[in-house]
Structure 1
Amino acid sequence: MPSSDPLPPKEGALFRKLLKCYELKQYKNGLKLAKQILSNPKYMEHGETLAMKGLTLNGLGRREEAYKYVRLGLRNDLRSHVCWHVYGLLQRSDKKYDEAIKCYRNALKWERDNLQILKDLSLLQIQMRDLEGYKETRHHLFTLRPSQHASWIGFAMSYHLLRDYEMANNILETFSQSQTSIEAHDYRHSELLLYQNQILIESSRLEQALDHLIKYNAQIVDKLAVRETMGDLYIQLQQHEMAVPIFESLIRRNPENVLYYEQYLSARQVSESSAVVAVYREFQEKYPRALCPRRLPLNVATGSEFRTVADEYMRRGLRKGIPPLFVNVRTLHQESEKASVIEKLTLHYFENLSRSGHFSRKDADSGAPVEPASALVWTALFLAQHYDYMRDTDRALEYINVAIDHTPTLIELLITKGRIFKHAGDAVEAYVWLEEAQSMDTADRYINSKCAKYMLRANMVQEAEEICAKFTREGVSAMDNLNEMQCMWFQTECALAYQRMGRWGESLKKCHEVERHFAEIVEDQFDFHTYCMRKMTLRAYVGLLRLEDVLRQHPFYFKASKCAIEVYLRLYDKPLKLEAAIEEIDIENLPPSELKKLRSKQRKAKKKAELESAQAAQAQVKREQHQKSKQQASQETDPDAPQLDELVAEKLERTDEPLERAIDFLKPLQQLAKERIETHLLAFEVYYRKNKLLLMLQSIQRARVVNKAHPEIHSCIIRFMKSLSSAFKQQPLNEHVQKVLNKATEELIGSKTLQELNDEFIAKHNASILHLYEGARSLYELDSSKKDTAINLVTSFNQNKIRLEEAIKVYTALKDGNVFGECGKEASAYQQACQQRFQYARIFRNIEELEAQLQEKEAAKLRAEEEQLQLNHIDSSETVLVSATAVAAS
């Protein structure tokens, strides 16, 4: 690269060696070369050498020194494209892509046609989705190097991403025609043709896309993609007779692909249920071992035809003993008629199998072979799963107990029983059954993971970590290793468990770890920008870019973000520092007897805290050692990677700006999860606490677009109107803001008062407990003197019409006192009422009863262990006696 401040031949040779050492990652040798140049008094302030010295130091992980030397070099030579380029590389290594782009643009001012700078700039622009800038850079590269394949491909892709399909297709067409020699089975050329075809399809030029496939069919290596695309194009172009043989051959190739059957039916133009079932019958005869043609008719068949098809499918599954049989037909339960037919069929099977060993009396009378003994077990399991799905816990337990009595060693039965208790609200009993299932097969990773998940649902984090430690790397704590492996299901469940336990810092730590995983996934795409261009995997590359754009739509991210926002809102409402101050004030006013009890309790808590702190210190030492080794390994593999700050639970839970941290999690949800109403309800809660009227209004309006009838929207409107009226009283608002708010008020409540609006809402939705809960909440919000009326609204609701989740929500609100104020008596009465309705739900049961059950279980366990010890003692005595007899006889 030509320099603005050239060195003499000797130093110039050293500088070129320095560049070579950096490329080869020989950083220590590079520092020696830089020192030789800078030791010359004439060149001790040479900007480019100082900049390269800083870049080399960055490779060794000495970031502060690196920035110092690079900035010094830039200050000494502001017109050097090398210095600006190096500064951009340094910013890029710290993931400051916007700053790096500015540096590259400054470098191009002094060296406009530098290929390396242009390539680096294009990578950052596509990473940041600056598509217009990317197009300009790729055009510049194309004009400089028109003979390179990557120049053409990058230039075409820049137009494709901007949805200028015609220009992208013209560039690729010109490039294809310019290629003279094409080797047989040239995969890169094949992928280029398929990518061009994808552009034609996205531009809705379907006939041209079909002609393109037919023309270049011989040059395309991926024949499966050709057939799938051609069949789809024929259907869209209404040339159904051409599509039928294509999808017949595709089904022959893979008879388990659901999409092939759907497109085949579309090509055959078959829509009536009986005709569709007849088509599937044909495929059942052709492919007797395939599951798809047997399962798919259940989606369309109705009436007696559905009963016949379901009978065949269910018998086959129960006879073979297919564990996920219920999961396969679970979607059919959304239609009450089909669910009723399945229930009747299965009950009929269970009755006849118990009596004669056949699925029906007709089979028994005709002398058909007896079904396998396991069929009864699988039928009982299916019935248990069915009634569990219908939330009939008693009948589900009845059938699962029958199955366990019949075959107590079948692990699926124990897992299902645990799931039944989970749905019934007893997470602890559910974990007990999963632990028993896990003990039967400790080498099964699925059962271990399930057991760990149920432990976390029961707030047993340490036990879950011990279970997962069986499959993590030795020498590292399971929690750290799971974080390294980006095991997000475990981390999200951990975050929710810590949230339920009130360990806010630990919960936030897990949420931030999940957020970092998604940030890492976004960063990882950087490696593919050049790789995919070089390998010509262009369709997969475009799919990757589009996936990364909506990455944070993933359920794991939503769950972690929702948890983090709720925790930050709680920390804003009740800061931890204030709680400690309140506790000290209360101690001064306590009577002597209570104070003595409290001091004793504090001493025990202090001892426990000291023990926990000692354990935490040991864990911290191990964690620091692991972190140190991890950093060393990362520097060896990627020396430019920035080191992230360690997440400390205590710091996270004592943040000074909880609402700002909540907004950091909220913004991606508002962009990518706007179809979920929880996003907008959380946004309202955040902006309500920040007293942002327009943003509160925006959240309400977006929530109404998603689901206008959602009950929580009503209480949001009431609180918004109260905030609005108090804002009017405090100070006059901007004229334009006032106009917007007045219009919104008219749309939301019209001419009614808030009390009238709330009374009308309660009267209209008196059949829904969730609506009544929000109405009662608003009633108390508007007039705290109507507390008894508000509580009576929710507690007097018919218990037979309420679901477990709804009852828990009401009971939690009464017990915590956050919604209706202090109401201990009402909470106890509601708990007793719910205990009769939900007898298995642990949250509604008395502590004394639970402790008695626990003691009884422990006593039974001890008795079993003693009996086992006695049996072992008897066996060993008999063995000794037999051996002594044998010795005497000999």
Structure 2
Amino acid sequence: MPSSNPLPPKENALFKRILKSYEHKQYKNGLKFAKQILSNPKYQEHGETLAMKGLTLNCLGRKEEAYEYVRRGLRNDLKSHVCWHVYGLLQRSDKKYDEAIKCYRNALKWDKDNIQILRDLSLLQIQMRDLEGYRDTRYQLLMLRPTQRASWIGYAVSFHLLEDYKNALSILDTFLDQQQRLNNFDYEHSELLLYQNMVIQESGDLKQALKHLETFSDQIVDKLTLKENLADLNLKLENWERSEQLYEELIQRNPENTIYYEKMIEAKRLTKDSDIVEFYSNYDIKFPRAMPPKRLSLNYASGDQFKALVDKYMQKALSKGVPPLFVDLRSLYRDQQKVQIIQDLALGYLTSLNKVNKFSETETSNGPKEPASAILWVYYYLAQHFDYLNQTEKALEYIETAIHHTPTLIELFVTKGRINKHAGDPIEAYRCLDEAQAMDTADRYINSKCAKYMLRANLIKEAEDTCAKFTREGVSAMENLNEMQCMWFQTECALAYQRLGKFGEALKKCHEVDRHFSEIIEDQFDFHTYCMRKMTLRSYVGLLRLEDVLRGHPFYFKAAKCAIEVYLHLFDSPLKNENAEQEMNTENLAPSELKKLRNKQRKAKKKAEQESAQAREAQVKRDQHHKSRQQGDVEADAPQLDELIPDKLARVDDPLDNAIKFLQPLQTLARDQIDTHLMAFEVYYRKRKILLMLQSIKRAHQVDASHPKLHSCFIRFLQEVKENQHTFDPSVSQVITSEMKSLLTTKDPKVLNKEFLDRHKRSLRAALEGGLVMYKLDEKSQKDALNLVTPSNIEVKYQDVDIEICTEILKCLRNGLFGTNVQSQMDSFVAHCRKLFPHAEAFKPPREVTVQPQTNHVIESDSN
């Protein structure tokens, strides 16, 4: 396009060479040509050349200079679409997408038909989900390039994302009509037809979708997807015979796919359990090597029929030595009758194998004996079985017997570690995994599992050293795991630091996980053009929908929950200012001693600054080396993120505002988790936001109205309303009154608490929350509150007694939430819990944990 400030032929040729150098990533050549133009006094302020020089400098990582040149070029030529476009590219490289969109729109004012600017604008609009703007931009591109396939497809996708299915289908029909004339039926055409069918299905016209698939079935290359869609549509349209026929063909093709069997049952309209069991037994005869017919029938069988089927299933697995047998059958443990049958069978196997080396004593004359390993796998199964039933002593007995039988089987040590973990002893659990890891140092899974158990035992440095066996050389394991977005490790690290009271380090890990999610969202940028070009449109739409709910992932929820809890703690108990504390300590010092101390502090501060600067410089060098080694000479356009300094993170001025940043994605994407709303209440309670507190309570009530912690939130909310109701605006008071009528029968906290305790007499968790509320409402009721949570017959009185809730009660007692002078009750409670949970670390006497560097094993020494 003609420039708003044209150059003469010679300089214009140089300017074109700058553009060519930029496209070919020959940045030094580009700077050389720019210098030749700018060295001419007539053109030293030529806006577009200055802008291109700035863009080239940005690609070399000289960001400040780049912005200076681009802004200077823009000031000199505000009517240049090139200058505005370049400024937009700079903003885009810094992830300032809103600003970049503004720049592109300004560029289009001076050159409304510039294809490249329109493409760049459309990419940012779909990235920011400005779907209406995206639709308008794609329309302009279609008008300018009606012969390009991407123009039609992009415009159709924009309507699809806006759920305007009619227009989307109209555009796709028009485009496909053109394709039909060309007879160009390849894989990409097939994908386009399947995408069109996806749009028809989402529009709700299932009959048309079925007709479409049947019409174009010859042109669709992906026959498996075609058949699955045909079968599903016939099933939804209640064409039972046709769907049954199609699912039969699919099962013939892949008899290991469990979904096909479930859909087939639906197509056959089988509802009785006996009919379903017979259905699976027929397929078991038909496909004797397929697992789903054997396993899925167990879900529907009962009584003697279940016993016969599960007996056959278990014998085969134990004879072959299938380690995940328990995991496979665990879903059956919801039915207590089935649990008892499985237990009786497994114990019977053990007796028979010890006596006659067969699974049944009645089969002594039939067939060969079982392999010697069969009894080992029975021990292994029984250990997992009793662990699941919380019978720790039996579980440990069986796993020890198995280890004595075969002391070289790694799975046994992993299971022993898991049993100890469930019993509340992370130290012993770590030891078992450490022993397993030592038996096979090349196994990445065992290595990772061992590191995870180390973190659960708060051995962070040891966990890092363990992971270092599989991370990149020359870089610390923690740094490399961050590069690889190893979020399970970082989340466990954060929780370990939280338990240790190292809140800055915990927040650093949580922020690193948050940055990973931001990076994943940024990474979708690369797919907007690629998927349109390769015609993988169904996957592309799936990607966009995944990215929209990305922060609802359990990894993010766990890290966000940890961060919010830490920020709440820092708000309630801010870290002391070290400088202020030192000032107080120096008041009584003599002048000479004070001078020495000041000099010492100055030197320490200077040394710390030097070390920090060296560390940052070394990090930059490593990053540059790694980037150049991986990518060669590429654009250095990624914005530099602020360094996460633990001490700075732990001493923020506004911990609640930082907590809200983690909370907001959860409120949108994890609304079905009651913890989201309970955390929201805690944050807004501290911020004194009464309506947001009420909103959090309402949402939590919709998820689980009987949750114990919700009860204490109700009481605190009522007290807050009672104390501050005279300060509320009349409209706020009206909202509170109307909403509370639907939630509560009375506003008296003591009556509410009594009603709550009466409704949940068998719940220890409810007793804890009720007891805390009782003591807070009336300190004279301390004895009654303590009797609720520390009765001598706690395991008889309540049904939900476990290590977790007992540990929480002990924590509340130690933190003074039930007042002072509770030492005797606390001692008797700990002694009783020690009998109930003899392996639980929380109820053992304090002990010091050290690690031998040679063997990496834990040594204990009593600290009392």
Q: TM-score, normalised by structure 1?
A: 0.90
Is 1:420 matched with 2:439? no
Distance 1:73 1:547 in 2: 40
| 8 Å Cα contact 1:777/1:820 also seen in 2 | no
CA distance in 2, matches of 1:25, 1:709: 62
Asked if the contact 2:850/2:858 (under 8 Å) is kept, the reply is no
Write the letter of the residue equivalent to 1:766.
Answer: K
* Correspondence for 1:658: 655
Alignment-derived partner of residue 87 in structure 1? 87
Query: How many angstroms apart in 1 are the aligned matches of 2:225 and 2:74?
Result: 52
The Cα shift of 1:777 comes to 1.3
Q: 1:860 offset after TM fit, Å?
A: 13
Q: 1:588 to 1:276 in 2, by over 3 A?
A: farther
- Per the TM alignment, residue 832 of structure 1 is displaced from its structure 2 partner at its CA by 1.5
> Distance in 1 between the 2:611 and 2:582 partners?
27
Deviation at 1:718, TM superposition (A): 1.2
Q: Which residue of the partner structure matches residue 737 of structure 1?
A: 732
Matched, 1:835 2:834: yes
Instruction: Report the residue type matching 2:147 in the other structure.
Output: S
1:310 aligns with 2:302: no
Cα separation, 2, equivalents of 1:382 and 1:520 = 42
Per-residue deviation, 1:270: 2.2
Q: Which runs of 5+ in 2 are unaligned?
A: 589-604
Query: Structure 1, residues 453-484: CA drift from partner, whole Å, max 9, x if none?
Result: 11111011111111111111111111111111
Contact 1:787 1:820 in 2 (8 A): yes
Query: Deviation string for 1:132-164 (max 9, x for gaps)?
Result: 111111111111111110111011111111111
User: Which residue of structure 2 lines up, in the alignment, with residue 705 of structure 1?
Assistant: 702
Change (3 A) 1:301 1:379: same
In 2: Cα distance, 1:550 partner to 1:612 partner? 42
* Equivalent residue, structure 1, for 2:644: 647
CA distance in 2, matches of 1:38, 1:714: 72
Q: 1:139·1:155 contact (CA, 8 Å) conserved in 2?
A: yes
Looking at structure 1, the residues matched to 572 and 361 of structure 2 have their Cα atoms a distance apart, in angstroms, of 66
**Secondary structure of the structure 2 residue equivalent to 1:575:** coil
- Say whether residues 1:720 and 2:717 are aligned partners: yes
Aligned residue type for 1:759: K
How far, CA to CA, are the matches of 1:587 and 1:338 in structure 2? 72
- Matched-pair contact (CA < 8 Å) for 2:142–2:152: yes
Specify whether residues 60 and 468 from structure 1 end up closer, same or farther in structure 2 by C-alpha distance, changes over 3 A only: same
- The correspondence of residues 285-684 of structure 1 with structure 2, limited to 5 A, is 285-364=285-364, 366-577=365-576, 623=619, 625-630=621-626, 636-684=633-681
Structure 1 residues not aligned, in runs of 5+: 590-608, 863-890
Q: State the match for 1:599 in structure 2.
A: none
8 Å CA contact 1:125, 1:131 repeated in 2: yes
Distance 1:851 1:82 in 2: 65
Check the 8 A contact 1:758/1:775 in 2, yes or no: yes
Q: How far apart, CA to CA, are the structure 1 residues paired with 2:558 and 2:751?
A: 37
Q: How many residue pairs are counted as aligned between the two chains?
A: 838
SS at match of 1:244: helix
Q: Is the Cα–Cα contact under 8 Å of residues 195 and 537 in structure 2 kept in the other structure?
A: yes
- The aligned residue for residue 764 of structure 1 is 759
Equivalent position of 1:25 in the other structure: 25
Residues 868-889 of structure 1 deviation map (CA, whole Å, 9 limit, x = unaligned): xxxxxxxxxxxxxxxxxxxxxx
Task: Supply the AA of the counterpart residue of 2:844.
Answer: R
Q: What is the CA–CA distance in structure 2 between the aligned matches of 1:842 and 1:158, rounded to whole Å?
A: 57
1:380 & 1:173 partners in 2: Cα distance? 64
1:594 match = none
Deviation at 1:486, TM superposition (A): 0.9
Three-state SS of the structure 1 residue aligned to 2:633 is helix
Residues 1:792 and 2:759 aligned together: no
Contact 2:851 2:857 in 1 (8 A): no
The range that moved more, 740-749 or 523-532, is 740-749
Amino acid at match of 1:109: K
> Could you tell me which residue of structure 2 aligns to residue 685 of structure 1?
682
- How far, CA to CA, are the matches of 1:859 and 1:208 in structure 2? 67
Q: Does 1:777 align with 2:772?
A: yes
Counterpart Cα distance in 2 of 1:312 and 1:421? 31
Cα offset, 1:501, TM superposition: 0.8
Which residue identity lines up with residue 654 of structure 2 in the other structure? E
Q: CA deviation at 1:631?
A: 6.0
CA distance in 2, matches of 1:299, 1:614: 66
C-alpha distance in structure 1 between counterparts of 2:613 and 2:88, whole Å: 41
One-letter amino acid matched to 2:694? L
Residue 367 to residue 587, structure 1, CA distance change in 2 (3 Å): farther
CA distance in 1, matches of 2:215, 2:78: 55
Q: Aligned runs of 1:117-266 on 2, under 5 Å? A: 117-180=117-180, 182=182, 186-266=186-266
Cα distance in 1, alignment partners of residues 311 and 344 from structure 2:
10
Q: Give 1:428's aligned amino acid.
A: I
Is the Cα–Cα contact under 8 Å of residues 532 and 538 in structure 1 kept in the other structure? yes
Cα separation, 2, equivalents of 1:586 and 1:436: 49
Change (3 A) 1:155 1:68: same
State whether structure 2 residue 67 is matched by structure 1 residue 72: no
- C-alpha separation between the residues in 1 aligned to 2:858 and 2:505? 36
Moved more, 535-544 or 812-821: 812-821
Identical aligned pairs, as a percentage?
57
Distance in 2 of aligned mates of 1:122 and 1:567: 40
Query: Which residue identity is paired with 1:664?
Result: K
Distance 1:626 1:787 in 2: 60
Structure 1 position 780, deviation (Å)? 2.2
Could you tell me whether the CA contact under 8 Å between 2:772 and 2:817 is conserved in 1? no
Distance 1:861 1:770, change over 3 A: closer
Q: How many angstroms does 1:613 deviate by?
A: 12
Once residues 794 and 265 of structure 1 are traced to their aligned partners in structure 2, the CA distance between those partners, rounded to angstroms, is 50
Q: CA deviation at 1:845?
A: 0.8
Deviation at 1:660, TM superposition (A): 1.1
| Structure 1 position 828, deviation (Å) | 2.8
Change (3 A) 1:123 1:860: closer
Please tell me the residue identity of whatever aligns with 1:786: S
C-alpha displacement of 1:513: 0.9
Q: Matched residues in 1 for 2:345 and 2:307: separation?
A: 8
1:77–1:247: structure 2 CA closer, same or farther, 3 Å change rule?
same
Residues 613/829 of structure 1: CA separation in 2 closer, same or farther (3 Å cut): farther
Determine if contact 1:492/1:510 at 8 Å carries over to the other structure: yes
